Every structure is written in C-alpha cells, then in structure tokens.
Structure 1
Amino acid sequence: MPGLIADQYDDLTGAVQQIILSSSESDYLDQLIPLLRNAQSSTQVTPLIHALNHVSADRESEIERICNTNYQEFTSSVQQLEHVREGTSSMISEILALSDNYAASVEKMAEQKKALVDSRGVRQNIDEATQALKDCLEVLRLANQVHDLLGKKNHYAALRALDELQNVHLREVTRYKIAEMIERSVPATQRLIAEAVMTDLNTWLYRIRETSQFLGEVAFYHTEMRRARQKERAEEDAYLGSFKLNSAIELVADEDHEFDVLNNDEVQVDFSPLFECLHIHDALGQTDKFRAEYAATRRRQKDLLIPQTLDLQDEENNRLSSLLESIAGFAIVEKATLAKTTNLRAQSDVDELWDSMCQSAISLLTASLPSISNDEKLLKVKGVIALFIQTMDSWSYSVQSLDSLLLTLFDKYASLLRKRFEDDIEEIVTADDYMPMPVSNSDEYSRVLNVSFYTLPPEHQDQPLESLDYPAILPFSQMYPMVCIDVRNFVTQLCLFSDDHFRHTTHIDRVLRDMLDGLLVEKVCRALVDRLRSQYPGQIVQILTNLEHFEAATHDLCDLLADTRSTASTSGPITLQATKAFREAKEQAEKRIFELVNSKIDDLIETAEYEWSSTFVPEEVSPYMTELTRYLSNIMSSVLLGLPDGIKDTLYFSALGFISDALLRLPLDEGVTRISYQAAEAYVMDVGHLVEFVESLPEDQRPQVLLGSLDELRQTTDLMHLASQGQGEIFFDSSKSQARFGKVDKLKGAELLEKVEDRDAAGPPRSPLVGSGGFGEQADQEGRKRMLGDFRDRFGGFGRREKS
C-alpha cells in the first residue's frame, strides 16, 4: 500500500513538474485538467495538493540554497517566492475552486453522459418504433387502399391489393399484433369484395332485365329487316325465294348486313361486370358458389318476366309483343353469356330456362285464346309469334314447342275464319233473289269474270266486253259470284297464315281442302238443296243453274288449290267432295223440276173429263189439253229458258213421257169398261193436238227426238182409232203389228180393243177379236170370252196397269 501511494505520489510530482514548466497559462490549465479529471472526489485531490506542496518545498529548499549562496539574490528570490507563494496560494485557491468547479462539472458531465446514454437508447427505441410504425402504417395504408378501391368499384384491384397485403406486407410485420388483427380481417374483407362485386353484378342483372325488352325489340326489328331483304332477293331471283329465313342460303346471302344485337347504336350490353365477378370469385375459390347464385338469380329474373295473365285484346298486341320481346332479350343474353364465359353456364341450364319461358308463354297464350273471336286479330297474334320464332331460331334455340303452338293457333284461326265465311255465305244464300244476274256495263262484267270462275260463252269469247249488248243477263244469280269472292278470300286468308313462318304446311293444305269442302257442301250446296222445297219452278231452275256453275267452279278450285299448295313436294290432283255433292244436288234439282212439272201436268190431266160413253164427237180439243200444251210452251220458253240445253231436252223428254203415261192410264182405267167411238175420236184428237204441238217446236228443241217419248201414246191412239173404225184386227197381225204398234203393250192393246166399240156396230161394243177369230157378227158372248182367255194365257196377266 505504501508503494502504491508512493507511485501515485511520484506520478503527481512529475505532473506538477510539467505544470510548473508550462510556458503559458493555457498550457498550465491543459496540464492541470487531466489531473483534475482523473480525480474522482475531493479526497483524491489531496495527493495533488501534497505533490504541489512537495514541489513547493523543494522549490523553497532550492531557493534557500540559492539564497544561502547569494543572499541578495535570495532575498529577492524570497520576495519573489513570497510573491510566488502568494500566487501559489491564490492559485491553490483557484485550483481548489477550479477543482470544485471541475468536480461539479464532472458530476454534471456524468449526469449528462448518463442522460446522453439514456437518450441514445430512447432514440434507438424511437427509431425502431418509428420503423415499426412505418411498416404498420404501410400495412394500414394498403388495408385502407383496399377499402378505397372498393369504394371506387375497383373490385379486382382491391382483391390484388388485399392479396399483396396478405402475402407480402403482413409477412414483414408478423411480430406486431396489428398483423394478426389484419390477418383476421382478410376473410371479412374478401367477403366485402365478393359482396360488393355481387352487388354490382345484381345491379348489372337488373339493368339487363330492364333492357331485355328493348334488346328483344331490336332483335325483332333486325329480323324484320332480314325478312324485307329476303323478300327483295326473292323478287329478283325466284330460286332464292324458295329458301326460308335462317336457312343456310339466306344466312350467306345476308352476310353483307352483319348486325350485332348486343352492341349497336340502339343498345350496348357490357359484360364486364359479369367477367369481373366471375374472375374475382374464381380468385377467391368460390366459382361453384357463384355459379349457383348466378343461376338462382337468373331463374328468379325469368319468373319476374312472366306475368300472371296475358290480355290479347289490345289492338296492337303490345302486351304480347312486350312479353315475347322480354323473353327474347333474356334468352339472347343467356346465349351470349354461354358463348363469352367458360364453365359459368351449362347448355342444359340455358335450355332449361328457355323451355320454361316457352312453356309459360304457351300456357298464357293458350289460356287467352278463347277470348279472341276475330280471325284478323288472331292472324296478328300469329305474326308476332312467328317473328319471335324466327328471331330465336337464328340464335339456335329449339322452337318445336312454339311450332306446336302455331298449329293450335292455326286451328283456331281456321275455325274463326270458317265461322266468318259461313255467316257471310249463309247471308248471301239467304238474301239471294234467285234470278239471273244482270250486268249493266263492261266494268261490271269484267269484275264478275275476275272474281268468279265463269268464262264467256263461246259466241262471245272473241269479242271485247265493250262490244256486248248491255244490260246483259248472266245465267247464274247474284249469289254465285259473291260466293266465289268469299271462297277466293277464304283460300287467300287461310294461306296467309303460312306467309311468315309455319312449318306444318301439309296441315294447311289438308285443312284448307276440308274446310273448303265443308263451306261448299254444308253452307252452299245444302242451303240450295233445302230451297228445292220451293213450289216455284223458276226458282228451282235458277238453283239448278247455280248448282251447275258451282260444280264447274269446283274443278277450277281444285286447280287453284294445286297452285297454292304449300308443300312443293306434294303432287297429284286435288279432288273436292263438293264436286260430287253439287252433282248430286243438281240431280235432285232436276228431279225436283221434273216433280213440279209432272205435278202440274198431273193436275192438268186430272181435269180431263172424258165421257167414255159419249155419243158425239167434239169439234174442239179438250180444254185440259189446250192448257197443257200452253203450259209446256210457257215453261219451256220462260221458266226453263235458263237451263242448259241438255237438261232442257231431258226435262222436255221426261215431261212428254210422263204425259204419255198419264194419258195412257185414262182409257185403261179399271172404271172404264166401254169406250164409244165418239169418245175414242175425242181422245185421239186431243193426243193429235199434243203431237202437233211437239212437231211445231223449233228445230233447236229437236222435236223429232221429243216425239220418241210419245211413240207408245201415238201408236195406242192409232190403235184406238182403228178399233173405232172396225180395223182393230191389224193389231194381231204380226206382219203388220210390229211395225205399226211395236211400242204398244200387247195386253194393254187387247184391253183397249175390248173397250173401244166400232162406230158401225149397234148395241154393246163388239170386240175386234170376234171378226178376226171367225165367230161372225152374231157370235155369242161365251165364244168371245174364250178367245180373250186364250190371249191372256199367251201373254200373261190382263188388265194390270203400269205405273209411271
């Protein structure tokens, strides 16, 4: 320990020596400061003081020695020393003060150093906290940026920012709790992004639903334009006209008029929201969930398109058009979505929605059809549906169910059309005057020729209509051309149903033929047949004339149906049952005319009052015969004038045959047992008057042919005349009888010979058989009866009347 103090002391002494040797005050201080700095306290300054004292003592000793050597110098030195001592004391005081100041400074510096060290640690902590704060603020900035991007509808950018935040920036701050908090909020933020993009998608879907009708309207308009262009091409080239809309040829021919229904001047459908939503859900791994939600949303939107009821009574079909336009727009968006996306919409889903919408529309239309009672209205409905079918067919949708609906509409349309024309024809038939139709000028004549199936008579075919004499009388009544107009209109309007789009063309052909047959048979032919009950021969004649022209018209109608046949591949002739019906009706009309004429003839002949036992020969023809020939003359020159020549000849021939039979029945009546020769002559004169009347007929009525119907009557009256002259035996002379009495029935001739008496005989009538059989004039009654009995046995039966 003493050594340590000594060493320290030696060190301080050296230091003091250096301090003393300092050349200036500043050097002094520079030497002193290290010593004071190393001093830790006032106790540590004491050695320094001792060192200084020791130096001072050494100096004093040296000074004393020097002074001893040189007193004077010593005295001065002492004085100097005293002065130095004073200075030293003062210095010591200063040093002590300085030491105290230094000590205070050292303490202060220590405190400051400690504060500095502490501040450096704080600063380092602050720097670290600042960096952490910056990192956390960057994370928060990115988190806020995600929400800002969400607010700006930049959903995909927000998702990218969230992904960057999760996979990059959060890894840098994993030691901080904020990273855990943000990490926990990432799924919620992803849900927010998914919900936000779904909200935008729902807004887009809503706008699409609102735009669907307008989109369908634009698509319909485009189809209308394609129709017009195809019609123009058909007018220019008949070959192109054979191809329907949406056929391959039509699509190729229309390539120059490309039109994007989804993006044009009228409407633009932007699928970006759908693509973004699909991409985001794919990035989130929620594609299946999104697909299901999208499908459910589209199903709900589909249900909202379909109303509960459908009113088809509005004039312009606005409700039906709106419904079909909405369905078309919806289906077009679905088809475009299927084409523009992958794995979002399956073809089966799109087809299911389409089938559902079609079935709903068909159900609404079917339920509303009974409210339509106008065929023109139904044709407009068909036009809207056909436009809808053609539009959706171009988008490759199945339209089979809609084609079936058109078939139902056609049946309804055909029934309404038939009902309307049935009413028109029934009114025409009822209101007809059944008189030959007059035309006052060539224009009327031309119109009749154009609308009906009537052609000019052969004698006028080479003449212009203006050169004919007017007013002209046509053979048929006014109902014929009017019915022809209705029939033509019926054919035209029924064929109108297939103009736009109708694939069941064979059905149209069949229905047209059947309904046309029904109109002609049930409403024309049957109505005319019902009117045959009329008692006016003139009306029956006009009905017969009309029936003949209708029968001829059916052949022209068959040609018309063949020309308008919808199915080009169908060939072969077309036949109408109406032809047979009119032919049969014409036969009934002829029979009815025969009945009326024969009835009149029968009435006239019933007025014949022959006194078969008369004893005088009348000078004039019987009144009934005069009336009969007058009736025949009048009816053939007026009432039956409009009949065709063939029917007139047949009627005349039949009437004369009926007259012949009726007149033959008069003398053969069972109540007539005896005919005087005067009565026979009167009968012969009446028949002769009838024959003369027939012979006096014009050559165009072929009287020689008509006389054939009176052959039996003429030969019978000739036989009666010979019997009255006593020459009746010629009837039994086979060499003469066959040539003269070939038409006379043997039994009837024998009966008449028995009844007619010889004008030269007296008493009871004598049979010519008596003279011819060798009995003589005085033969008894038994012999005459025996000969007549042999005659009966030979020819079989006697006295039986033949009914006409």
Structure 2
Amino acid sequence: MATSTTTLSPTASASITAVGSEDPSDVMMNHLQEVLLLNSDPVSLLNSFEGDDFLEQLAPVVEDALNSQAVDLLVERLATITAQKETEVQELCNSNQQEYTRAVQQLARVKQNSEQMRSSVLGINQSIQQSGRALNKMLKDSQGARSNIDDATAALRQCLKVLHMTNQVYEMIEQKKYFQALKSLDDLQKNHLQEVAQFEFAQRIRHSVPVMKDTIKEDVHTDLSVWLQSVQEVVPQIGMIAFSATEVRRRKWKAKVDKDPQLRFYKLNSAVELAMEQDDDDEHFDPLDNAHIKVDLTPFYDCVLIYTALGSLDEFREQYAYGRVQDKDQLLPKSIAFTDDDISPLENLLHSACGFAIVERATVRMAYKVRTAESVDALWELMCQRIADLIDPVLPTLQNPETLLRVRTLLGLFIQTMESFEFSVVRLHSFMLSLFGKYSDFLKERFAQEFSQSVMEDDYMPMVINQRELWEQVVNISWYQADVDPDKVTFPCVLPFSQVYPLSCAELRNFVNQHYNFADEFTEQNPGQIESRLRTSVDELLVDVVCAILIKRLKSSNREEIVQIFINLEYFEIAASAIEHTLNETATVHLAEPIKLRAVTEFAQARKNAEQRIFELINSKIDDFLEIAEYDWETTVENSAPSSYLVDMVRFLETLVNQTLVHLPKSITSFLYFDAFDHLATSMLDLILHAGRRISKPALHNFNRDVHYVESFVYELGQPKSKPSSSAALTTVTASLGNRLTSRSRNPSVTSNASSNPPEDPVLVRHRSGDDTDDNSLLTTFTELRQTIDLLMSPNIEEYNNTEVRMRKYGRVNPQNAIALVEKLHAAPIAPPSRSRMLYRGRNNN
C-alpha cells in the first residue's frame, strides 16, 4: 500500500505562529486537521501515520502547544478527533458485513473439495509406487552392469595407450629422437599414468621414467662426445679454410690501398675495410659450412635442448666447459719444434687453434646460456698465452731473420682471422711486438756484422767510378745528389764519400723496408707502437752501430782516414735526416708528433768530434816539426834559405792541403787552416819569446826569413787554383761494388732515390765543399807575429811609444812581449865573446 506524506503549507505555518490574532483553540484545531487530514478517507489517514513525515509535521504543533501552555487543550482536541474517527470506521464496517460473510462461506467449500482431491491423489500415488518398485530394481541392476562394462573397457583402452606410448618412447630413443621421446615421457608421466595408477604395471612404468630420462641424458651426451671428437679432427681444416678466406680479403684490401694510398691508415678488419667489403660482396663466408667442409651443430643443439628440458642446464654447462678445457689441452701440445727450414708445426698449431676457437664462437651464437661470450673469451685468452709460451722458447734457436718474417706472416694471418670472428687479439698483438723486437735485433745484428766488415774493408778514400751504370746505382741508393747534371757527368768521376757509405745506405734502406714489411701484419690495436718501435730500432742502429763504430775509428792517427770518416759522417747525418723524413711520410697512422731521430744530432756531434780530431792531428804534426826547430839566437851569420824543419813542414802542409783535405767542405778546411796556422804562428812567437837572454840581428833576420817563407805558403794557399788531379791516389771502384750493392738491396723497389725520394726532396743535398775563391784572410793568423818582428826590425823602435803609430802598425803586439823582446835585442853580448846557442823544444799538444 502506498504511503502519502503531507507537507505543512505556508499558510498553516503562518496561522500557527500568529498567536493572539485568533482563538488559540481554533488555530490548533485547524492545524491538527491539516496534519491529520481529517477530511480524507480513513485509509489515507492510516497511511499518513506511517513513516517519519507525520512526526515531523506534528512536532511544530506540539511545540506551539508547549510554548503557549495549551497542552491540555491539545490532548483534548486529539481525543475528540480520535472519537470522531472511530465512529466513522464503525459505520464503514457495518455497511459491508454481508459481502464478507458470503466470501467466507465460499472459502469453506473450496477447502472441503481440496481435501477430497488430496485423498484421491494419495491413493493413486500409493498404487503406482507399489507397481514400479520391481521395475526400478531391475533397471538399477542393468545400469550397474552396463557401468561396470564401460569402466572396464575405458580402463583397458587407457592401459593399451600407456603401453603404446611407453613403446614409442623406447623407439624414439633408439631413433635418437631424444627431445620427442622426452616430451612423450613427460606427457605419459603427468597425464596418462595418473589414469591407470591403480594397476601394477603403471607403477612399474612410473618407476622406470627416471631411468629412461637418465638413458636419454647418457645417450645424448655420448652423441655429443662423438660429435666433439669428429669436430676435433677437422678443426685444422676449419682453421686452414679461415686462413685462406682472410688471405683473399688481404689481397683485395691491398689492391684497394694501392689504388688509394690514403687507405694505408686503415688495416684489415677496421671499420672502413669492413664497410667496403660489405659493399663489394654481400655473401657471408661461413668456415663451418662451405664448399670444402660442413660441420653439423645439431648434436650440440640437441644436447642443450635435452638438458634444458631435464632442468640440468647448469650441470651441462659445467661439464661442457670442463670438457672444452680438456680438449684445448689436448689440442695444444706441451711443446713445439720448428726450424729455419720447416715451420709447418707452427702452421698446424695455428690452424688448429683457429678452428677450435671458431667452433667455440659458433656454439655461443647457438646457445648463449650454455657458452657465454665471457667463457669463450676466457678460454681464448688461455689459448693465446699457451701459444705464446710454445713459440717463445723456439725463437732463440732460429738463425735466419727470414724465418722470423715467415713466423710473423703466419701470426699476422692468425691475428686478422681471429679478429674477424670478434676475438680479442691484444695478447697476440703484444706477442707480435716482442717478436718485432726480436726480428729487429736480428736485423741489427746482421747489419752490425756487415757494417763492421765494410768498415774493415774500406780504403777510406773518395770513390772513383768509371762506369755510368755503377755511378747511377751508387747515386740512387745513397742519399746523395751530384752537383752537376747527371747527363754531363764525365768519367772517371770522384764521389766525396768512401764505399762504406753506399753499402751502408743499401743496408739502411733494406733495414727500414724489412721493418715495414713486418709491420704490415699488425692490426690497429695499438696505433703508433710500430712507428715508435721502428724509430727506436733505427736510432739504435744508427747511433749504437754506425756512429759508435765510426767514432771508435777516430782514435786512429791516420789523418787521411780521419778526414774521410769526417766526410762520411756528414753524409750519414744526411742519411739519418732522410730516414727521419721517410718515417714521417710513410707512417701507417696519423702521428700526434713528428718522428725525430736522435741519430741526426749524434752524427752531427760525431762530425764535430772528427773535426776536432783532425785539428789535433794537424797541430800535433806541427808540434812534431817545431820540436826539431833549432835557432842560434846569438848567431852572427845570416842564412840564405829557410830552416830545414820549416821546409819539411810546408811540404807536409802542401801535401795535406792538396791531397788529404781537398775533399773536405770549404767551411771545414777554412777552420782547419785557421786553427793550424794560428797554432803555428803562436808556437813560432813562443820560439822568439823564449829565445834566452839576447837576440842578435842576424838571428832576427833568419827568423824573419822563416816567417816570410810560411807567409808565402799561406798566401799561395788562399789563391784560386784548379783542384789537383788525385785519381792516381784514389782507389777506382769496380763492378764488384755494384754486385755488393745489389746483394744488400733486397727490395729494389724502394732502394733508389728516384723511387723513394724525388730529386727535389729536401733531405737530398749537394756536396758542400764549395768552389775555390780568393781568400787571403788566413794571413791574419800571422798578424801578431808579423807585427812583432816588424817592430824588432824597425830602425826606429821608439815610434812604438807613439800611440797613433802603435795602433796603426803594431796594434796586435803585446806590450809586455814588445818590452821583453826589445830588451833581448839590445842586450850586450857576454864577455869574452862566446857562441851561445839555445835549443827550443816546442810545445806538444798531444
């Protein structure tokens, strides 16, 4: 039944609050009528009493009654309304009583009929139940039998299926279908055996499942062992095929470098080479699958799958890693022996190591969870160390540098091959550097032997060549450029250096070329190391061998030999500068700083030592002549010719100038002349200064004659003249030198100036002897001696006291010397007169 709610209207609310304007009883009555809906029917009134809305509307009326102290009036009015409504309800019930009675009678008749029908139904039901009990029993019996038959049939079929699957597992194991057998076995164990668990044969099958899994594990491991054994037998062939592929790549790259020299900065396996190779050839070479060999990795993959399915991958990883270490130990012998004549054992070793590592890298790509890159790299490092340990003891037994070059070629090919398969070659590169050092030591030792032999056989005379062919060979192989047009060279032709220089140049070129040939096998692991090692080797060769041996020869007392060594040192300095220039131009990497050879400064210093040695020898010879000089300073006889010792000295100096020093550069001969004549002038001045107590006029005239004689020689020496023909004193170079040059130039393509250095190369300089010019400045070395003698021979010695005259005529004369000599000149003779002689021994600068 729906409930109706009444809401107090604004008018009613206003009427309640308006106390005093009307009679309170009337106002309250009106308000109650609105709240209680007295004009509505009784049903609506009952509905309005339900819920909280009625109480909410009645609350203001009660509150007003309390406020106005009319509670008794409110109770009275409520009682009046209640009585009124009861009267109305009674009237309503009286008007409908007959209809209600009639309905009750009808309901009584319906109830009686339903009881009768119920009794009939119960009787019928009882009869049916009695008749169907027998049929129901028969039905249940037949259904039970049928169910038993169906259960037995299903169980039999399941048993047959289990037995069939078990047989299939054994067949799969025999057919080496291990993974399928393992899957069927797992399905049998988890699903089908559960359905026949009550049978005894099922329990036996269940107990045999672990045995079958172990059988599968053992069989697959056996197959893997057989496969590994077969792979071990072909790893040398795998390595050889990989070497061949790398050699093909090397030839292709060399052809590209020859076309574009800028590519020489990039080695094989560099990013540039790999990018260009991909552009040229899209086919990927697989050393395990090619026209020559095919290695099936299925057994390894199957083994990984089986152990993974069995949950034993960690066990397999450890077993496989241990097995590969053992295989590595079997592959690499405890020792290796190869000789200068046969290095095939080393080649076989590198092929095997290469093939072994390639197989390892392939297993990483197939099963990275079993063979990680880290584990393979660790094994590879052990192999590299072992290979180095095997080769190291053999290297000292090798006697031929060419063998080291062949070893380098093999190791270089091995390094580049392994680098292409992403193996670290740092350890091998370090070994190659040590091998490079041994190779360099071999070359230095051989160079030292040949250079020492050449020095011993050298005649220390300028080379005289009679054949143009030999002249061109010598000029091209030496860092030398003639001072005349090659087409205008006449023969016999004299070259300033001796034959040891071109022979050494050939060896030096060959030494550098062999180092670069060795360095071609190096990768980009350590850019600049080869250049640094080569610079060190060349420096050691030039300084410790060439320069050291030549400096040692400077101890000789043979002036001609020392002069020739000086000239040779000059050209060796040129050669060192040329080699320094070549090393910078042909560097295989971009150098942060240019290469500087210490040998350049060492040869320059050695040349200064040789120059000083020449000074010492010449001055020593002059002292030897001065030691036999005898002057009677109190003589009364004037000589008509110069002293014999001085004549011999001038002859010596003429020979020295015209033959020994003729090929020296003009700048050096000038220094030599100045030093020698200055030493001579000083020594002769010492002669007269130490003359004794008195100098006679005749003795002074004799001494003046000797000084004039020497001055004349010095003056003639400064005059221009043609060079003397010294071919008679020189050794003519024959064709045998050409044969020696050819034998020492093992790489003709890089031994000539024409091919390696153009004529305008700054390191190729002309002979620096210069042209003869008029030079009388040598006479200045005798200025002090000449002015001193002129002062003593002057008729007016007192003019020395005149400052102007002294500065003009005697500016170089030492005043103390002048006083001492004048006193000796005017000293009185000893009475009785006797001949006083003084033998003066000159200073020996040795």
Equivalent residue of 1:268, what SS?
A: coil
Q: Distance in 2 between the 1:681 and 1:239 partners?
A: 79
1:133-170 C-alpha deviation (Å, 9 max, x unpaired): 99989877765555454444444455466567767887
Corresponding residue to 1:529 among 527, 548, 551? 551
| Structure 1 residues 199 and 678, CA gap change in structure 2 (3 angstroms) | same
Shift of 1:232: 1.8
Which letter does structure 2 place at the counterpart of 1:218?
I
Q: Which residue of 1 aligns with 2:222?
A: 199
Q: Which residue of 1 aligns with 2:266?
A: 243
**Alignment check: 8 A CA contact 1:675 1:755 kept:** yes
- 1:382 equivalent to 2:404? Answer no
| Structure 1 residues 339 and 447, CA gap change in structure 2 (3 angstroms) | same
| Structure 1 residues 711 and 195, CA gap change in structure 2 (3 angstroms) | same
| Structure 1 residues 701 and 591, CA gap change in structure 2 (3 angstroms) | farther
| Structure 1 residues 656 and 216, CA gap change in structure 2 (3 angstroms) | same
Shift of 1:184: 3.5
Q: Which has the higher helix share?
A: 1
Q: Which residue of 1 aligns with 2:787?
A: 715
Q: Which residue of 2 aligns with 1:208?
A: 231
- How do 1:46-195 residues align onto structure 2 when only pairs under 5 Å count? 146-156=169-179, 158-159=181-182, 177-195=200-218
Q: Distance in 2 between the 1:736 and 1:282 partners?
A: 119
Equivalent residue of 1:533, what SS?
A: coil
Which letter does structure 2 place at the counterpart of 1:506?
G
Q: Distance in 2 between the 1:193 and 1:641 partners?
A: 98
Q: Distance in 1 between the 2:773 and 2:553 partners?
A: 29
| Structure 1 residues 654 and 286, CA gap change in structure 2 (3 angstroms) | closer
Which letter does structure 2 place at the counterpart of 1:584?
Q
- How do 1:442-453 residues align onto structure 2 when only pairs under 5 Å count? 442-453=468-479
1:594-622 C-alpha deviation (Å, 9 max, x unpaired): 22222222222332222222222222222
Shift of 1:478: 0.9
| Structure 1 residues 166 and 615, CA gap change in structure 2 (3 angstroms) | closer
Shift of 1:291: 3.2
- How do 1:113-512 residues align onto structure 2 when only pairs under 5 Å count? 146-156=169-179, 158-159=181-182, 177-255=200-278, 256=281, 257-313=283-339, 315-341=341-367, 343-457=369-483, 460=484, 462-464=485-487, 467-502=488-523, 503-512=525-534
- 1:737 equivalent to 2:758? Answer no
**Alignment check: 8 A CA contact 2:265 2:588 kept:** no
Q: Distance in 2 between the 1:252 and 1:584 partners?
A: 51
| Structure 1 residues 254 and 355, CA gap change in structure 2 (3 angstroms) | same
Structure 2 length-normalised TM: 0.69
Equivalent residue of 2:569, what SS?
A: helix
Which letter does structure 2 place at the counterpart of 1:447?
Q
Identify which range, 154-163 or 268-277, moves more after superposition.
154-163
Measured on the aligned residues, the alpha-carbon RMSD in Å equals 3.2
Shift of 1:263: 0.7
**Alignment check: 8 A CA contact 1:653 1:706 kept:** yes
| Structure 1 residues 499 and 254, CA gap change in structure 2 (3 angstroms) | same
Q: Distance in 1 between the 2:622 and 2:493 partners?
A: 33
- How do 1:681-692 residues align onto structure 2 when only pairs under 5 Å count? 681-692=701-712
| Structure 1 residues 332 and 685, CA gap change in structure 2 (3 angstroms) | same
Q: Distance in 1 between the 2:515 and 2:645 partners?
A: 58
| Structure 1 residues 270 and 620, CA gap change in structure 2 (3 angstroms) | same
| Structure 1 residues 254 and 397, CA gap change in structure 2 (3 angstroms) | same
Equivalent residue of 1:254, what SS?
A: helix
Which letter does structure 1 place at the counterpart of 2:804?
S
Equivalent residue of 2:554, what SS?
A: helix
| Structure 1 residues 133 and 260, CA gap change in structure 2 (3 angstroms) | same
Q: Tell me, which stretches of 5 or more residues in structure 2 are unaligned?
A: 1-150, 721-771, 833-841
| Structure 1 residues 413 and 666, CA gap change in structure 2 (3 angstroms) | same
Paired residue total: 630
Shift of 1:479: 1.0
Q: Distance in 2 between the 1:240 and 1:520 partners?
A: 31
| Structure 1 residues 416 and 669, CA gap change in structure 2 (3 angstroms) | same
Q: Distance in 2 between the 1:501 and 1:613 partners?
A: 84
Q: Distance in 1 between the 2:631 and 2:439 partners?
A: 68
Identify which range, 290-299 or 643-652, moves more after superposition.
290-299
**Alignment check: 8 A CA contact 1:694 1:706 kept:** yes
**Alignment check: 8 A CA contact 1:696 1:703 kept:** no
Which letter does structure 2 place at the counterpart of 1:715?
Q
Shift of 1:499: 0.8
Structure with higher RCO (Cα < 8 A, 6+ apart): 2
Q: Distance in 1 between the 2:588 and 2:264 partners?
A: 14
| Structure 1 residues 167 and 434, CA gap change in structure 2 (3 angstroms) | same
Corresponding residue to 1:641 among 662, 665, 678? 662
Which letter does structure 1 place at the counterpart of 2:706?
D
Q: Which residue of 1 aligns with 2:778?
A: 706
Q: Distance in 2 between the 1:463 and 1:327 partners?
A: 57
- 1:549 equivalent to 2:566? Answer no
Shift of 1:706: 1.3
| Structure 1 residues 205 and 634, CA gap change in structure 2 (3 angstroms) | same
Which letter does structure 2 place at the counterpart of 1:739?
R
| Structure 1 residues 248 and 677, CA gap change in structure 2 (3 angstroms) | closer
Q: Which residue of 2 aligns with 1:746?
A: 815
Which letter does structure 2 place at the counterpart of 1:549?
Y
Q: Distance in 2 between the 1:610 and 1:281 partners?
A: 116
- How do 1:603-618 residues align onto structure 2 when only pairs under 5 Å count? 603-618=624-639
**Alignment check: 8 A CA contact 1:677 1:757 kept:** no
Q: Which residue of 1 aligns with 2:713?
A: 693
Equivalent residue of 2:451, what SS?
A: helix
Q: Distance in 1 between the 2:843 and 2:185 partners?
A: 121
- How do 1:768-787 residues align onto structure 2 when only pairs under 5 Å count? none
| Structure 1 residues 626 and 308, CA gap change in structure 2 (3 angstroms) | same
Equivalent residue of 1:751, what SS?
A: helix
Equivalent residue of 1:438, what SS?
A: strand
Q: Distance in 1 between the 2:191 and 2:177 partners?
A: 21
Q: Distance in 2 between the 1:638 and 1:427 partners?
A: 26
1:656-705 C-alpha deviation (Å, 9 max, x unpaired): 212211211222115x2122212211111221222222233332364521
Q: Distance in 1 between the 2:423 and 2:375 partners?
A: 13
Q: Which residue of 2 aligns with 1:58?
A: none
Shift of 1:802: 11
Percent identity over the alignment is: 39
Shift of 1:216: 1.6
**Alignment check: 8 A CA contact 1:649 1:701 kept:** no
- 1:597 equivalent to 2:618? Answer yes
| Structure 1 residues 651 and 270, CA gap change in structure 2 (3 angstroms) | same
**Alignment check: 8 A CA contact 2:384 2:427 kept:** yes
- For the pair shown, the structure with the greater C-alpha radius of gyration is 1
| Structure 1 residues 434 and 137, CA gap change in structure 2 (3 angstroms) | same
